[in-house]
């Protein structure tokens, strides 16, 4: 099944997600001149999307202009209203899997090392970060702070335990990231990719994360013997099951990506690559169509040899205000 067909069913799955299940989503972020806002008034709304671009060799493209982009909303082109590109501070939430499955094959040690590598790639007193852990429940270990030593000093030792509510944790943490005011925002999930306890499906989580425009980057830690292909690369998308979606689907629907790490070199390369992408995101705003509901979205460049990573859609509706 094509990705567009899977996304077409998101409106139906969104119906089962209530504000009571995810209170963080119901909170409205404080107004800030540096944070793009979507304001729904009298049928007029503005959608903000972050996009990253790579060339055929996988290198991040940093010099594109507003005229280089096209926005296709439900098959119709939209005029780009505002455009921003440039270096600015990052708001990053690191979500660490500490569930029982992480005790297998030393994966928890690989995950702890990955947290340290991520913190080393942040800029002190400029970027901000928060640390979350999850097993059956999600826990905020350190709130968002520019004093990154608060996270670096946290001891992550301990025996992994409990079921893995992976998709639930991603949905709630993405909501927290969306409330930050920095232009560049993202969620880095460090996990073995095994979900045993979530109440949500990947399309449901993708719908929430996409609607609030938070790229989800997944670093999947595995034993070297289990590393697909035996070398650093992307997870393949399983397209055989029409009613399921993989972690790769989830990441890419939000404009993020997924990597596999089995040795320290993989972790360093993957995290550095993710930060290169985060620091050179393009900010695009446009006015959507009038139809309420789910809008499939494609951000593309006029240069056909480039690959754009951006969320695959957004929710539109009257009489509400959201941060996008």
91 pLDDT band, cuts 50/70/90, is very high
Take residue 284 and report the two structure tokens written for it.
């695009």
pLDDT tens per residue across span 52-74: 999 999 999 999 999 999 999 99
Q: Are 35 and 181 in contact (CB under 8 A)?
A: yes
Domain ranges within the chain, ordered by starting residue? 90-278
Of the candidates 125, 45, 103, 108, the one whose C-alpha atom is nearest the C-alpha of residue 78 is: 45
The mean pLDDT value of the chain amounts to 77
SS3 state of residue 30: coil
pLDDT tens per residue across span 271-314: 999 999 999 999 999 998 888 888 999 999 999 899 999 998 88
pLDDT tens per residue across span 184-216: 999 999 998 877 788 877 777 877 777 777 899
| Sole residue written with tokens 């929710």 | 315
Q: Are 306 and 153 in contact (CB under 8 A)?
A: no
* pLDDT > 70: percent of the chain: 75
* pLDDT > 90: percent of the chain: 42
- Residue 91 to residue 145: CA distance in whole angstroms: 9
- Residue 151 to residue 177: CA distance in whole angstroms: 16
Confidence (pLDDT) at 43: 37
Cα distances (angstroms) measured from residue 43 to each of 79, 135, 160: 17, 41, 49
Task: Determine the average pLDDT of the residues in 23-32.
Answer: 30
CATH code of the domain occupying 90-278:
3.40.50.410
Confidence (pLDDT) at 36: 37
pLDDT of 39 > 60? The answer is no
Residue 221: CA count within 13 A, CB half-sphere: 28
Q: Are 70 and 311 in contact (CB under 8 A)?
A: no
268 pLDDT band, cuts 50/70/90, is very high
The DSSP string of 215-259 is -EEEEEE--GGGSGGGSS-PPPP--S-TT---HHHHHHHBT-EEE
pLDDT of 81 > 70? The answer is yes
């Amino acid at each position: 099944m094509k990705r567009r067909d899977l996304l077409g069913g998101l409106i139906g799955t969104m119906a089962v997600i209530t504000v009571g299940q995810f209170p963080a989503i119901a909170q409205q972020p404080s107004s800030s001149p540096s944070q793009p806002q979507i304001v729904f008034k009298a049928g007029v709304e503005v959608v903000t999307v972050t996009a990253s671009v790579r060339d055929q060799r996988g290198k991040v493209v940093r010099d594109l202009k507003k005229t280089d982009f096209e926005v296709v909303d439900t098959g119709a082109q939209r005029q780009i209203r505002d455009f921003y590109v440039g270096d600015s501070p990052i708001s990053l939430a690191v979500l660490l899997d500490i569930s029982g499955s992480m005790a297998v094959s030393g994966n928890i040690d690989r995950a702890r090392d990955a947290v340290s590598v991520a913190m080393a790639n942040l800029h002190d007193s400029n970027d901000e970060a928060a640390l979350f852990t999850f097993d059956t429940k999600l826990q905020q270990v350190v709130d968002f702070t520019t004093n990154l030593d608060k996270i670096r000093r946290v001891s992550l030792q301990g025996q992994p335990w409990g079921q893995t509510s992976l998709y639930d944790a991603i949905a709630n943490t993405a909501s927290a990231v969306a409330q930050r005011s920095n232009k560049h925002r993202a969620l880095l999930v460090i996990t073995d990719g095994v979900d045993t306890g979530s109440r949500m499906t990947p399309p449901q989580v993708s719908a929430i994360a996409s609607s609030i425009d938070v790229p989800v980057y997944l670093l999947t830690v595995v034993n070297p013997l289990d590393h697909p292909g035996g070398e650093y690369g992307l997870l393949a998308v399983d397209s055989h099951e029409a009613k399921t979606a993989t972690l790769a689907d989830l990441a890419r629907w939000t404009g993020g990506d997924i990597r596999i790490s089995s040795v320290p070199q993989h972790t360093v390369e993957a995290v550095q690559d993710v930060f290169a992408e985060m620091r050179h995101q393009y900010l695009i705003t446009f006015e959507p169509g009038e139809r309420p509901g789910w809008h499939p979205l494609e951000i593309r460049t006029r240069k056909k040899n480039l690959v754009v990573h951006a969320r695959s859609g957004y929710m539109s509706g009257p009489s509400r205000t959201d941060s996008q």
